[in-house]
Each structure stands twice: as structure tokens, then as C-alpha cells.
Amino acid sequence: MALPDRLPPSSVRGRVFRYGDWATDAERGLLTCGYSLDGREFTERITLPPGPRWRTEAARAAARLVFLLAGVSYYKTAAPPVIDLGQTTLTEAELAFLREFYLQGLGEFAYRIALDLTPLRFEARRSDARTPQPREPGSRPRALVPFGGGIDSIVVVERIRRLADAALFVVSRPADRFAAIEEPAAVTGLPVVRAEREIDPQLLRSAELGFLNGHVPVTGILSAIAVLAAVLEDRDAVVMSNEWSASIPTLRDQGRPVNHQYSKSADFEAAFRGVLAGSPAPMPDYFSWLRDRTELWVGREFAAQEQYHGSFRSCNKAFYTDPARRLDHWCGQCDKCCFIDLILAPFMPAEELRRIFRQTGEPLEDPGLAGKFRALLGAGAKPFECVGEVNECRAAVLLAARRDDRAGAGLLQELAAEVAGWPDAPSAADAAAMLRPVAENFIPAGYR
């Protein structure tokens, strides 16, 4: 797909984005990060439980990583061609990682506003590579699991709790809570480590202030905050729930991948692990337990976790920033609702899915959503959402259509007939292969 002909007016873009400084306050459990863009100042604050571990070298190294990655939210406001790291020195490996984080992580943002970020220039003083200090293994693994309340993190929690002393990790705005996270978190019965992320209030006035707006690689920022939380909690690993399909680009533009889920991808995971390994202080391990698993596999595993069926909710409208617009039920209309319904349909009774979507009706029973399902199946532009890969969606359609309780499902049977007629339709053997590991992973021995 080619870029649109017209670029944003040059007056919209800034000149230089600058990293300022960061500071921690152990008594308040506070990390403060400062940035500026052409003289406009931005401040972000991260609050975590206070305590003496804030003063350790590992906590300072982790806080510095949060500072480096959180800057992307403020750079995006005017996307200038130069990023000045100021007094912050970077190793060559860190600079390469940060550059990819900006270019790949802002790929969707740049594509949507027709902006070429490839000439982006980083001005940073170099530091020598540091000798990493390995973390001493404990008697029992202690895991921190970032938890969003969806099927992926639920499946990971139920696996990890068998292997480690596990706690959930949840990030929210100050004094805010999402019911879609809190309700399934309560079902786990596990302790919750909380962080509050207070973005600069100017970002909430983007339209008024004339800022550029769009998607940022927020999972990367939250990953860095989770590493800091793990250090403060003396936990040995941050266990993510990013599956294989997160590495598949949403589209390609002029030969370059554009991936809505870049900071959930294997490329990001490998690069971030490399930066953590190069830290001068012992850092927690960081890996996704689902890296080699498909969403089809996750759907099958989640179907057996019946205790969560009444509380989980992956609909994006459950996570609106404005509480007045936030839904307390599935909207039943968005791309994410359609995908979740589709990926669970082969493994859960139709009646159970109707009950889950009872307020709006099950998406697979709504002919008006045929276009959204066809896009998931590759017969239209893939949505910029956290949804599965085309072939596993096709396999899900074919498997679901074979269920006895779906024999009269008009839209589902229509979609399955279309897919079955395609020359590249997945076979039964292909579908079976998707229910086994399909790639490499970074899972250490204690978590296998």
C-alpha cells in the first residue's frame, strides 16, 4: 500500500524533541520523567509502592529504561526530525534498540498520517558497554504477570501460578480502575502489584493544542514499568502474554512492515531482553510465555477456564479513558469483539458465547458484521487492532462451522463456505498444527 500523496503541513511538525532528566523518590514511590519539544515542557509520573529498594542500582537502571521508553508519547505530539538525548548517555545497543522502538513502534502512527520517519536522527552521547551482573537464582521462581483481563493473560496466569510464586501487575491512571481488569483479577485470587501512570495533562488536550495524535507502542512502556515493579518487589521475572501472531505485520507499506502490535512482537521482546542483559545491575528476566503459541491455542485453553467466563472482557470500549464513555459490557460490534467471538467459537458452546455477549447479541449472529469478519479472514484490510493472524482466523471459522450447535448459524456457515473454497484454505492438519507450538520462545527452564 502506498503512502498518501499529501504529507502533514510542515508547520505541524516540531524541530527537536529533547530528553530532560528523571528522578526517583523512595519515600513516595515516585519516578518523575521530564521532556521538552521546542520549549514546551512535559512531565510524566509513575507511582509504585515506596521502599528502600528504590535506592538500589537495579531500580535506578530500570527507572532509566522507563524514562527512555515513555518519551515516545511526547515525541509523537509533533514528531520532529531530531531527538536529543541531552545528558543521558547510551550504549550502541541501547541506541539501536531505542531507534527501532521509535521507528517500528510508531509505524502505524506514521502510516496513518502519511509521515516518513525513517530519516529520524538521534543525537546522543555514547557510553561503553557495561559488564552485566547476573541475578542470583532464588529457591522458587517469583513472577510478575502484567494482567489485562483478556484471554491471553488469563491463560498465562493459570499456567504460571503452577510454576512460581505469582503476582499480577496492573497499570492505571491515578485513582482509576477498569472493571474489565479488576473483576477477572479478583477471580485469580492472586496479589496485585499496582502502578499509576500519570501522563502529562497536555496530552489529554491534543486536539485543542494542535498535537499530532495516533497509536504509540504502549506495551513497551508498560513492559519497562513492569521491570521496575519487579525489581522493587524482588521478583525474578516479568512474564508477558504476547502470542505468536503479535509478530505478524498488520500490513506492508513500500516494503516496510507496519505492525500495530510491534511492542508485543518477538522482535521487541528479543531487543528488550538484550538491553536488560546489558544492564550493569542484575535485572529480572523478561519473556512472553505465549511467544510460540497461536491465538487458536489460547482460545482452546481459555475455553476450559470456566471460572473466568462471566468476568473477562476484551472489548476496547471497556478501556476508554473517559469513564463516562466506558462500557460495563461487551459492545458486540468492534473488531476485537468479533475476533474474540471467532477464536472461541470452535471450543465453547454457542449458548455460552451468547450468554457472554447477551447485552448486545453475539457478533457471529449479526449479518451486519460480515465485513469485519471477512477482514479478519483476509478478504479485506486487517484492522489496526490486537487480533490474530489470518490463517488462524480461517481455521477458527472452519472448526466452529463443524460444531453441531452451529449447524444453523447463517453468517458463520456462509463465511466457512467462502474460506473452504479458497485454494489456500487451512486443512485439518494445518489447524491441528496451530494447536501446537509454532515458533521459538525465550522461556527459561524454571518456567517451562
DSSP state of 216: -
- Spatial separation of the C-alpha atoms in residues 96 and 80, rounded to whole Å: 19
Is the pLDDT higher at 284 or at 128? 284
pLDDT value at residue 130: 73
CA angle 66, 72, 75 (to 5 degrees): 135
8 pLDDT tier (thresholds 50, 70, 90): low
Under 8 Å between Cβ of 401 and 413: yes
pLDDT value at residue 380: 93
5 pLDDT tier (thresholds 50, 70, 90): very low
Segment 51-73 mean pLDDT: 98
Chain mean position to CA 106: 13
- Spatial separation of the C-alpha atoms in residues 98 and 101, rounded to whole Å: 5
CA angle 27, 32, 34 (to 5 degrees): 160
Report the percent of the chain where pLDDT is more than 70. Answer: 96
280 pLDDT tier (thresholds 50, 70, 90): confident
pLDDT value at residue 321: 86
Segment 369-373 mean pLDDT: 98
- Spatial separation of the C-alpha atoms in residues 31 and 24, rounded to whole Å: 5
Cell of 289: 510465555
Q: What is the mean pLDDT of the chain?
A: 95
What are the φ/ψ torsions at residue 412 (nearest 5 degrees)? -60, -45
pLDDT value at residue 1: 37
Which of 158, 118, 387 is closest to 254 using CA atoms? 118
Of 70-74, 79-83, 360-364, 443-447, where does mean pLDDT reach its minimum? 443-447
3-state helix, strand, coil in the chain (%, to 5): 45, 15, 40
CA distances from 264 to 112, 220, 271 (A): 20, 7, 12
Half-sphere exposure of 421 (CA within 13 A, CB side): 7
pLDDT value at residue 4: 40
Amino acid at 38: D
CA distances from 132 to 121, 128, 145, 277, 278 (A): 28, 12, 24, 6, 5
At how many degrees (to 10) do helices 92-105 and 57-70 cross? 40
- Spatial separation of the C-alpha atoms in residues 357 and 340, rounded to whole Å: 11
Residues 151-178 have pLDDT tens digits of: 999 999 999 999 999 999 999 999 999 9
Segment 30-49 mean pLDDT: 98
Which of 387, 101, 147, 182 is closest to 289 using CA atoms? 147
> Are β-strands 251-253 and 256-258 bridged in parallel, bridged antiparallel, or unpaired?
antiparallel
pLDDT value at residue 128: 87
For residue 138, is pLDDT > 80? Answer: no
378 pLDDT tier (thresholds 50, 70, 90): very high
For residue 39, is pLDDT > 60? Answer: yes
- Spatial separation of the C-alpha atoms in residues 100 and 263, rounded to whole Å: 10
Under 8 Å between Cβ of 339 and 388: yes
pLDDT value at residue 12: 77
- Spatial separation of the C-alpha atoms in residues 260 and 242, rounded to whole Å: 13
**10 Å Cβ neighbour count for 340?**
27
What are the φ/ψ torsions at residue 366 (nearest 5 degrees)? -115, 105
Half-sphere exposure of 133 (CA within 13 A, CB side): 8
For residue 328, is pLDDT > 60? Answer: yes
Residues 205-259 have pLDDT tens digits of: 999 999 999 999 999 999 999 999 999 999 999 999 999 999 999 999 988 999 9
3 pLDDT tier (thresholds 50, 70, 90): very low
Which of 317, 166, 150 is closest to 235 using CA atoms? 166
Amino acid at 317: K
> Are β-strands 142-146 and 192-198 bridged in parallel, bridged antiparallel, or unpaired?
unpaired
Residues 64-80 have pLDDT tens digits of: 999 999 999 999 999 99
